[in-house]
Structure 1
Amino acid sequence: MVGVSTITVQLKLTPSPEQAAVLEQTLHALNDHANHVSRAAHEQGIHRLYPLRKLTYTRLREARIGSQAAQLTIKKVADAYTTFHANLKAANYGPKGSERRQRIESTPVVFRPEAAQPYDARNLSFALDAHTISLWTVQGRMKDVPFACSPDQMKVLAEHKRGECDLVHRDGAWFLLVVVAVPDAPEHEPDGFLGVDLGIVNVATTSDGQMMAGRKLNRYRRRQRQLRAKLQKKGTRSAKRLLKRQRRKESRRSRDANHVISKRIVAEAERTSRGIALEDLKGIRQRVRQRKPQRAALHSWSFQQLGSFLIYKAKRAGVPVVLVNPAYSSRECAECSYTHRHNRICQASFTCRSCGVVAHADRNASRVLARRGQEAWNAGRQSSASDGSQ
């Protein structure tokens, strides 16, 4: 059975000044009502969707909020409390009894006036040929709101099922984030695996020896940190305006780099009919201990984002992906499997103390991951065959 992956298509809305004013009024009104729902949920201790809907839906309808807009506003609050409780469980707000955690638990979830608002097919529709949308607002249905997108995005919107959307007002611009369900390509039987070692100096190194260096991106991040520190210290109004303009620039640069790297890796695996063996880096920031100068680089590098890009692009191309345990992959020899901490001489150099092989450390680790990926795939394939024969 072919699976389905969800991707998000970002459309830039180009409303007229009059349309933009109504959209802003709508966003502010719905977030104000979301705050009322949140306070009711906090006071009554009701955080699940259906009981919360029973408690607050009538009030929203009496305030002349459309039926579907009211439903989605309540769902937004319920989802926010689900995230809130997950963060509590993970101790992201501090341990039980801490002052910070008690302060956060004692206050309801608050939504900013311009927080994103969900829409769905019941209160938002597309006219793809005209490049416009029609959506519910506090002043009634607003038609013919133009949007801009690339030909590839338009093709995805036209050919696949569209789900929930988020109306976003960011830095003076309007966006619509559309969730689209895209069927995965049939997964092929891999002829070997392409190992991918992720790192900071080299963002990704493949077992073919291809290295995607991260020095340029790390230098850029370092300059951005220095600029932020300088502007924050200055503290003037113009410095604060510049900080506001700069705040998303670094994340866009990083996201673009991750898209380019993941696309190259998946294309190579698809071309050679191989799968991808990727190290499972879940919880790496909690496991890894770095010296103070290296902590900023570790915590600013988007491990999870690059991994997720690789996985979803591989699914669309029908390339199998196996997540393998990366433990000691930097100390294990890809030739003889001898593992010792002294094999890794420095960041870039690897010399096996058993067979004497000399290699680049990241290249050696990626070959180890490729072998582990093949072993994991073989184990899964044998298990599947035995289940099918019973």
Structure 2
Amino acid sequence: MKLVVQVKLLPTPEQASALKATLSACNRAATHASHVAFVKRLKDRNGLQKEVYADLKACFGLSAQPAVRVVKKVVDAYTALKASLQAGRLGPTTSKRYHRAVGRPVAFRPEAAQPFDDRCLSWQYDAHTVSIWTVDGRMKGLRFACSPDQFKTLVEHRKGESDLVQRAGTWFLVATCDIPEPEVYEPVDWVGVDRGIVNLATTSDGTNYQGRRLGRYRRWQARKRTELQKKNTRSATRRLACRAQKENRHAAHVNHQISKEIVSVAQRTGRGVAVEELGGIRERVRLRRDQRGALSSWPFHQLGQHLAYKAKKAGVPFLEVDARHTSQRCPRCGHTERANRPGRDHFHCRRCGLAGPADVIAGVNVRDRARSAWVFVTAPAPSL
């Protein structure tokens, strides 16, 4: 499986200036190549490289391999745009957003990330330094810092490209690591996980990860965002962008903590992890206006991704099961009715009288569906 390790670069002022000039030159070159690709309808790598390779070297000061990386970045950008259009993430074909996306070439910000391969970037692990190509020549002895766990992963499993990134004046290298996947064991049972807004996650064991703190934090950020938007200055716009990134990092940190604990419990007890399949839920439900912000900021998809990759990394079985009626079905008698859940927090079966916390009941239903689904997944294929 592929993971990324982010290391912080510690450049001197002169090195930082060279890195900034390199990033700017690569992105200006990428914007030029994107314009050529759009006008001449060149979306394949070889065709675009034949068209722009000489210009990238002569006009933008790029060496041979960085020019090749720039062409690859442009081709990947158009591939990602095509996938987004086909998946409907940019709206229907009649929408303004769709026409803006297809009606002009892809543009690259001056500080957009730039990929480097092993011909442009080499790592000196013993000295904690890297050697990287810049428009001012090869830069050697550029120091980096990371945690011991990240350093171990970097030394043992780094493979492929690394991206040079600048965020708020700080420089990073994001390295791709190819980690061998452990064999998935046969689970003795399952941990069912119900995801929600008030309670971010509730397991079939009764463990509850509340979202009140994250909700308060988001409401506080929303008030600050409103104050900054009223100022309508360039400084306020910059601070809004920084606050948005900070809020996203905070939500990701919370999801990392929750998913790490759930997977650790499952691994320790020899069980698998099962979650509801919630794809398309934002399009299926209709909410009041005051509820739309909470739903749009609900990080359920990210939590599911964290659970999936952490389970895969630990060799823990992971399943997504049907989410229909998990909060309305009685796990004891199977009776399904909307009236079984008279309130958000409580479940009470109208047939057999089973009662309990609604989110725990939903987690139990997810666990039970995972038991049935796993038998079907692991069943041998019928012989012809």
Structure 1 segments of 4+ aligned residues over 4 angstroms from their partners: none
Q: 18, 26, 34: which is aligned to 1:30?
A: 26
1:261 equivalent in structure 2: 258
Cα distance in 2 for partners of 1:161, 1:247 equals 30
Q: 1:149 and 1:368, CA in 2 relative to 1: closer, same or farther beyond 3 A? A: same
> Are residues 1:52 and 2:55 paired?
no
2:315 equivalent in structure 1: 318
- Whichever residue aligns with residue 125 of structure 1, its letter is S
1:116 equivalent in structure 2: 113
| 2:9–2:171 CA contact under 8 A, matched in 1 | yes
Q: 1:16 and 1:297, CA in 2 relative to 1: closer, same or farther beyond 3 A? A: same
Cα deviation for residue 50 of structure 1 reads: 2.5
What secondary structure, in the 3-state scheme, does the structure 2 residue paired with 1:135 have? strand
Q: 1:110-145 CA deviation, whole Å, 9 max, x = no partner?
A: 000110001111211111111111111111211111
What secondary structure, in the 3-state scheme, does the structure 2 residue paired with 1:169 have? strand
1:155 equivalent in structure 2: 152
Cα distance in 1 for partners of 2:71, 2:343 equals 54
Cα deviation for residue 186 of structure 1 reads: 1.5
TM-score by length of 1: 0.94
- Whichever residue aligns with residue 58 of structure 1, its letter is A
Cα deviation for residue 98 of structure 1 reads: 3.7
Cα distance in 2 for partners of 1:93, 1:188 equals 40
Cα deviation for residue 247 of structure 1 reads: 2.6
- Whichever residue aligns with residue 39 of structure 1, its letter is H
- Whichever residue aligns with residue 329 of structure 1, its letter is T
Cα deviation for residue 240 of structure 1 reads: 4.0
Corresponding residue pairs, total: 383
Cα distance in 2 for partners of 1:69, 1:237 equals 34
Cα distance in 1 for partners of 2:378, 2:100 equals 51
2:92 equivalent in structure 1: 95
Gaps of 5+ in 2: none
What is the 5 A alignment of 1:278-289? 278-289=275-286
Q: 5, 11, 14: which is aligned to 2:10?
A: 14
Cα distance in 2 for partners of 1:25, 1:115 equals 12
Q: 1:241 and 1:101, CA in 2 relative to 1: closer, same or farther beyond 3 A? A: closer
TM-score by length of 2: 0.96
> Are residues 1:221 and 2:211 paired?
no
What is the 5 A alignment of 1:162-311? 162-236=159-233, 239-311=236-308
Cα deviation for residue 90 of structure 1 reads: 3.1
Cα deviation for residue 237 of structure 1 reads: 5.4
Identity percentage of aligned residues:
48
Gaps of 5+ in 1: none
Cα distance in 1 for partners of 2:363, 2:332 equals 12
2:364 equivalent in structure 1: 367
Q: Between 91-100 and 304-313, report the one with greater CA deviation.
A: 91-100
